[in-house]
Structures are given as C-alpha cells and as structure tokens.
C-alpha cells in the first residue's frame, strides 16, 4: 500500500505522540540506507549530495555508518541554514568525526569524477513547483555524472521539471507514489500502532483555514434536529463553529427553534413548519441544503413516523452528510458518515458487537469494517475506544474518558465531524473528530472530573485542536 507525502508527515507526528522521536527514525533510516550502499557500491568512494532538511539528515547518518569508506558530503548551502534539529544534530557529529564536508555555494564545486557511487539526498517527499538554483544544478550534475545513483526516500525533484534519475531508490516504511525503477522499501521501526491509533497527525491532515479565506470558505454546516429535544442540535452547531466552521445553521421544528435561537447569537436558526420534522418541511430544506457544505441530522429529532418519512427524502438530497442519533434507522438510506454508539450500530446493522473491555474492542473491528464496506459508509463507532472505518482502513481512537458518558457529548462529536468534513474527506474528518472530541473531554476532565457537561467540551475544542 502506498503512502503519500502528507500521510507520511502525519505518521511522523503520530510517532512523536507515541514517544518515538524523529531523531530515532532518522537514525534508523540512515542506518538502512548505509546497508544498501555497502551492498551496492563497486568501490569505496562515496559522494553524498545533501539538502538542508531531513532528507539530508538521513544521509548524514548514513555517512557516519560509512565512515570507514571514502565519504565526501556535499551540503547544498551553508550549514547554518540546516532547517531541522535532527539534521543539525547529525551534521554536527560528522564535523566532530572529521569527515570530508563541503558547503557548496557554486555548482562548480560538485565533483563526482573520483567517486564510485552518488547518494541523492537533496529533497524528500512533498517538493512542489520548478526546481531552480543550486538544487536544480545539482540534479543536472548527478544525472550527467555517469555514476550509479541511490536516492534517499524519493528521487529529488520527483514529479517536477528536474528530477534525479537514480539506479536505486531506498524508500522508508512504505512505497511512495510515482517511484520508478528499482526500489527497496526499508523498515525504519515505525510500529503498526502508529498507523492504527489516531494522533495529532490526523488532526493536521484536515488542515486549517487559509489566511486568504473569506466567509463561508471554511465550511457552512446545516444542522437538522430538534423537536422533542432542543439542546442537542444547538450543541452540534456550536461545536461545528468551535471546530472551525464559518457558518452553522440550525433547521428545527417551530417550538424547538424558538428555544434554540436564544442559546447563542452565533447560530442561524430556521424554523420549520410543525412541532416535529415532517414532509411539509421539504420545501424549506430543499432551499437550505444546497447552500451548505455538510448536513448533520438526527440530534433530538425523535422518532415520529412523519420524521422518518421526511428523513428518507432529505438524505438523498445531500452531498455530504453526518448522520447521528434519531436519524440512525435501518430503513433510511444512510450515506456519508454515521456516528453510532454500540446500541445504534446494532440497530442499523442487525449485528451484535462483542464486549469492548480491555483489548476486546479489537473483536469489533471486522463486524464494523464489514458493515461500512457493504453500505459504502464511513462509520465512527463511539465507545471506550472509538473505531473509525471506511470499509478498508480501520483506525482506533483512545482519547476521551468515562466522564463523557454525560448527555450531549455525542452531539458535540457530530458537530466537530461536520466541520472537518467540510474541508476534508469523510474518513479523515471522522478520524480527526474522534481525536479532538475526546481530547477536549480530557481537558475538561482535568478541571472538573465527573462534573463535566457537554457545553464544557464545546468550549475546549479550540484548545484540543492545537498541534
């Protein structure tokens, strides 16, 4: 399975969250690279062309492991401009070891005539746009040097107008998109848990609003809820705003709408026609739905037969949906993201889930994954350990605490999910939302223990989103 540049960066962040430091991963990567160089080199003279980032840092580690050979390290630019702490640390070690180090300012300083093999470590994943200047000249020099080339992680300039043409690429952890020719995938010690358990990297993947954005660019959320209960849809809408959405509109039955309008001036409230959602409301909702990016529904709606009839007609009108609570019914055309607790999941799937104590939650993975695959949904199963799956990928979230059994935290989760879904994919949104909602609850728990209420969780969302 391939991993993209942004997914790899997110994985690095999750490794750090687990306590696996970037310096450890760099050491493992450089060691793996050195092993491949030893097995491939036809002689002892090695030239390393390194950039000032972590790709170069991997090569600095390899140079140390190869220090018994004739290694020349060409750093593109000044060492004072090395951009990461980890790369700087390994450059300083090379200086203390007295290896041959050249800070290249003029491309004419690059010389490969006396080497047997060249290591390309200029750029890692994620480079965009044309490659110019010193780096572009270095790529041209490598491609014309008539020496074997080994690229580190990906060929420098991959996918741009100037790209190294290596004889071998040593890539780390998993295959990267776009690699051609011979590729070795090196294990650098990233545990499976770093890709299974949700972490801050997953929050980073959903992104933040652009500094150039305008009102509405970061998400317009429509909440369809209320009737028998008024607090639930308000919590959802307020959570969506705290999670970064620009606009949150609540469409609620007439009695509930009056109460919800008094909760916060930040909410736009549209009154529906009766005391519960009914087919007569379709004309209002048909005009509202296209003006919003995500529709969240179910919170506090109740189960009146007319409400279920209306939901069956509303859901197919929506491009992106988050479906929760009373809208989680087996006879409805569910789509998008569904956020059930155990009982609701069993209701919509007719599947009885095993107990989730300890590691027993893993017994739930296949039933939930299978249901998501069958229905084409993203399922966020709420529990002591949340499970999130699109039917292929399965993730687990461990943030949160027993205090979050208080009413309304699930409504908060639906709002956060909707805000993230407005600017991301369904799976990424659900994964990040589970993490943030639980983290916000943990922040509340530190202050209020079991005295927390759902509005406390809403207020902690911005803090929980800080990376």
How many Cβ atoms from other residues are within 10 Å of residue 159's Cβ?
Answer: 12
Rounded CA-CA distance 64/34 in Å is 9
DSSP string computed for 218-251: T-EEEEE--SS-SHHHHHHHHHHHHTT-SEEEEE
Measure the CA–CA gap between 119 and 122, rounded to whole angstroms: 9
Sequence-separated (6 or more) residues with CB below 8 Å from residue 319: 293
- Reply yes or no on whether the pLDDT at 300 is more than 80: yes
- The pair of structure tokens assigned to 94 is 């090379």
Which residue(s) pair with 295 in the sheet?
A: 222, 321
Q: What percent of the chain has pLDDT over 90?
A: 91
Return the CATH superfamily for domain 200-464. Answer: Ribokinase (3.40.1190.20)
Q: Does 383 have pLDDT greater than 80? A: yes
Mean pLDDT of the chain, nearest integer? 95
Give the start-to-end residue ranges of the domains of the chain.
5-191, 200-464
Q: Residue range 174-201: average pLDDT?
A: 95
This prediction has a pTM of: 0.93
Q: Of 4-13, 119-128, 177-186, which range is least confident?
A: 119-128
Question: Strand pairing partners for 192?
Answer: none
- CATH number 3.40.50.10260 given to 5-191: yes
Q: What is the largest CA-CA distance in the chain?
A: 85
Q: How many CB atoms lie within 10 A of CB 266?
A: 11
- Alpha-carbon span 82 to 387, nearest angstrom: 40
Q: What local confidence, expressed as pLDDT, does residue 212 receive?
A: 62
Nearest of 303, 323, 354 to residue 417 by alpha carbon: 323
Candidate from 101-110, 119-128, 343-352 with smallest mean pLDDT: 119-128
d(CA 230, CA 269): 12
pLDDT of residue 214: 63
**CA gap 233, 21 in Å, rounded:** 41
Structure-token pair, residue 157:
């300039």
How far apart, in whole angstroms, are the C-alpha atoms of residue 177 and residue 188? 18
The structure tokens listed for 21 are 């430091």
* CA 410/CA 82 separation, integer angstroms: 45
Q: What is the mean pLDDT of residues 157-168?
A: 93
Of the candidates 350, 437, 426, 442, the residue with the CA atom closest to the CA atom of residue 388? 426
% residues pLDDT > 70 (the chain): 98
Please check the confidence at residue 356 and state whether its pLDDT lies above 90.
Answer: no
Query: Is 90 exceeded by the pLDDT of residue 413?
Result: yes
The number of C-alpha atoms within 13 Å of 154 and in the hemisphere containing its C-beta is 23
**All residues at 6 or more sequence positions from 124 whose CB lies less than 8 Å from its CB, including other chains:** 5, 53, 54, 55, 152, 153, 154
Closest CA to 298 of 235, 376, 389: 235
Measured CA to CA, the distance from residue 88 to residue 102 in angstroms comes to 15
Question: What are the tens digits of pLDDT across the range 220-231?
Answer: 999 999 999 999
User: SS3 of 246, please?
Assistant: coil
pLDDT digits (tens, 9 = 90+) for 52-77: 999 999 999 999 999 999 999 999 99
**Does 358 score more than 80 pLDDT?**
no
The closest of 386, 383, 391 to 367, measured between CA atoms, is 391
Reported as a single tens digit per residue, the pLDDT across 6-30 is 999 999 999 999 999 999 999 999 9
Q: Is pLDDT above 70 for 168? A: yes
CB 197 within 8 A of CB 395: yes
Q: Is the pLDDT of residue 210 over 70?
A: no
């Amino acid at each position: 399975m391939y991993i993209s540049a942004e997914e790899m960066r997110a994985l690095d962040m999750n490794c750090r969250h687990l306590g696996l430091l970037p310096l450890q991963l760099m050491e493992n990567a450089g060691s793996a690279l050195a092993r491949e160089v030893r097995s491939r080199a036809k002689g002892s003279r090695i030239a390393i062309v390194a950039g000032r980032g972590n790709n170069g840092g991997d090569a600095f580690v390899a140079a140390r492991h190869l220090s018994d050979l004739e290694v020349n390290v060409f750093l593109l630019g000044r060492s004072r401009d090395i951009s990461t702490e980890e790369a700087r640390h390994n450059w300083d070690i090379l200086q203390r070891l007295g290896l041959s180090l050249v800070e290249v300012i003029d491309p004419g300083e690059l010389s490969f005539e006396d080497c047997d093999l060249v290591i390309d470590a200029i750029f890692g994943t994620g480079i965009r746009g044309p490659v110019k200047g010193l780096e572009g000249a270095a790529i041209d020099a490598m491609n014309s040097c008539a020496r074997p080339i080994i690229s580190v992680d990906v060929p420098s300039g991959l996918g741009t107008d100037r790209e190294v043409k290596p004889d071998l690429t040593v890539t780390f952890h998993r295959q990267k998109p776009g690699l051609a020719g011979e590729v070795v995938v090196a294990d650098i010690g990233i545990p499976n848990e770093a890709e299974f358990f949700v972490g801050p990297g997953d929050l980073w993947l959903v992104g933040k609003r652009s500094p150039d954005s305008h009102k509405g660019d970061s998400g317009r959320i429509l909440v369809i809820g209320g009737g028998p209960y008024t607090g639930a849809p308000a919590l959802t809408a307020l959570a969506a705003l705290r999670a970064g959405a620009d606009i949150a509109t609540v469409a609620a039955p007439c009695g509930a709408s009056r109460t919800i309008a008094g909760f916060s001036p930040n909410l736009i409230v549209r009154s529906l026609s009766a005391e519960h959602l009914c087919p007569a409301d379709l004309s209002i909702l048909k005009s509202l739905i296209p003006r919003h990016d995500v529709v969240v529904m179910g919170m506090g709606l109740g189960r009146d037969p007319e409400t279920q009839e209306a939901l069956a007609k509303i859901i197919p009108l929506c491009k992106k949906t988050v479906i929760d609570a009373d809208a989680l019914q087996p006879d409805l055309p569910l789509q998008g993201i569904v956020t059930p607790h155990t009982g609701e999941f069993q209701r919509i799937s007719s599947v009885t889930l095993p107990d989730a104590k300890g590691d027993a939650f893993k017994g739930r993975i296949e039933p939930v994954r299978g249901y998501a695959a069958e229905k084409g949904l993203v399922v966020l199963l709420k529990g002591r350990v949340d499970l999130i799956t699109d039917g292929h990928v399965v993730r687990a979230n461990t943030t949160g605490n027993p205090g979050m059994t208080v009413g309304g935290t699930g409504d908060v989760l639906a709002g956060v999910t909707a805000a993230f879904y407005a600017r991301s994919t369904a799976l990424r949104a659900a994964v990040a939302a589970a993490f943030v909602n639980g983290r916000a609850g943990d922040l509340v728990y530190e202050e209020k223990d079991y005295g927390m209420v759902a509005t406390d969780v809403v207020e902690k969302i911005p803090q929980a989103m800080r990376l």
